[in-house]
Copies of this chain bind each other. A is one copy, B any other.
Amino acid sequence: MTAPSQSPIYDRVALIGLGLIASSMGHAMKKWGLARSVAGHARTAETRAAALELGFCDEVFETAAEAAKGADLVVLAVPVGNMGALAEEIAPVLKPGATVTDVGSVKQAVIEAVAPHIPNGVNFIPGHPLAGTEHSGPRSGFATLFANRWVLLIPGEAAPDAVAKLRAYWEAMGAFVEEMDAAHHDLVLAVTSHTPHLIAYTMVGVADHLRRVTESEVIKYSAAGFRDFTRIAASDPTMWRDVFLTNREATLDILGRFTEELFMLQRAIRMGDGDMLHDYFTRTRAIRRGIIEAGQDTAAPDFGRSVTGAGE
């Protein structure tokens, strides 16, 4: 399904921020020859040195503006809370006709922060690769991170040819690309990712509080359901802080629905209403079966991909 391109899609790509996502993009560009040159910027000298050592950047720069200068594609790969200041910094050096994209897990807040700084003649096409592992940093990336994973693009008012090029770029890395608007993106992700992550963080926190159950017991018996929660709850704290602060409305909406529903089940347990519980569990089981069947009906999404933790 990965179709390596025969010639570079972009001449020069700048990766701003060199964590898991950007380093994986760098490795993928090198593996499949998707850019003639890759420039990078990270705040620390250590991270910049790692990028050169691992070879996923050709050049690194101490400032984002130096890295972005002359680039055909600029990828903003920093925590969502830092996107606005970054856009302001690089705006003066952006090349006419260039494309700016990002890889943040929320889209409305990024657009509000970044779009005002984008000069006329530059295409801003927000993006979100639904890929990740529980690891972070420049040494955690690998070329196949995006293989068989979805990338959501928010084309907005961008030029169609610029959108088509960015789509081809992601597809060359093995990803499936879907376009949607920013508000819908944020709601879909609140349901499928953001709220589940908050819940997993919470459950792991509760287990840690419980002194009557020793830590070793929690660890030993974690395979009985709890392990999936700990995997979800291990992702980058800064990224997730920014996700919840910037996708606040949709997350609070889904959380409200979740607690209403949980209280209903909690009350059924307290009252001994077995029929209600049985009906509920039967319905959710059917949803799971729908997911499995959908996965079998289409060769596209690899639902069996099991080694990575949760994405964004």
Q: Which residues of B contact A245 (CB under 8 A)?
A: 269, 272, 274, 277
CA distance A226 to B202 in the complex (A): 15
Q: What is the CA–CA distance of A262 and B207 in the complex, to the nearest angstrom?
A: 13
The proximity string for A residues 184-226 relative to B, scoring 1 for CB distances below 8 Å and 0 otherwise, is 1001110111111111111111111110110111111111111
Q: How far is the CA of A254 from the CA of B266 in the complex (A)?
A: 11
Q: How far is B261's CA from A71's CA once the two chains are assembled, in angstroms?
A: 46
The docked-state distance in angstroms from the alpha carbon of A188 to that of B211 is: 11
A248: min CB distance to chain B, Å: 6
Given contacts A201-B281, A234-B284, contact A223 B303 (CB under 8 A): yes
Determine if A244 and B277 form an interchain contact, defined as CB atoms under 8 angstroms apart. Answer: yes
CA distance A205 to B191 in the complex (A): 11
Chain B residue nearest in CB terms to A310: B225
* Chain B residues, CB < 8 A from A241: 274, 277-278, 281
Q: Closest Cβ of chain B: how far from A150's Cβ, in Å?
A: 6
CB pair A234–B285 under 8 Å, yes or no, is: yes
A218-B192, A278-B238 known; A269+B252 contact, CB < 8 A? yes
Task: Please classify how large the interface on chain A is, using the bins under 10, 10 to 19, 20 to 34, 35 or more.
Answer: 35 or more
Q: Which of A84-92, A117-125, A287-295 contacts B (4 or more CB under 8 A)?
A: A287-295
A140-173 contact mask (Cβ, 8 Å, vs B): 1 or 0: 0000000001100000000000000000000000
A261-B205, A282-B237 given; A224·B288 CB < 8 A: no
A255 close to B (CB within 8 Å): yes
Q: Tell me whether A205 and B310 are in contact (CB under 8 A).
A: no
Contact of A284 among B189, B193, B204 (CB under 8 A): B204
Q: What residues of chain B lie closer than 8 Å to A134, measured between beta carbons?
A: 288
Q: Report chain B residues within 8 Å CB of A231.
A: 228, 288
Docked Cα-Cα span, A209 to B218, in Å, equals: 32
Q: How far is the CA of A187 from the CA of B221 in the complex (A)?
A: 12
Q: How far is the CA of A202 from the CA of B210 in the complex (A)?
A: 23
Contact residues in B for A32 (Cβ distance below 8 Å):
none
Query: A61 to chain B: which residues have CB within 8 Å?
Result: none
Q: A130-B224, A206-B257, A259-B259 are contacts. A219–B274 as well, Cβ < 8 Å?
A: no
**Cα–Cα distance between A225 and B234 once the two chains are bound (Å):** 12
Nearest first, the 5 A-B pairs at minimum CB distance are: A234-B288, A237-B281, A193-B224, A225-B310, A228-B228
Known contacts A201-B280, A224-B311, A227-B291; can you find 7 more A-B pairs with CB under 8 A? A134-B288, A189-B221, A195-B203, A201-B265, A210-B257, A220-B301, A233-B284
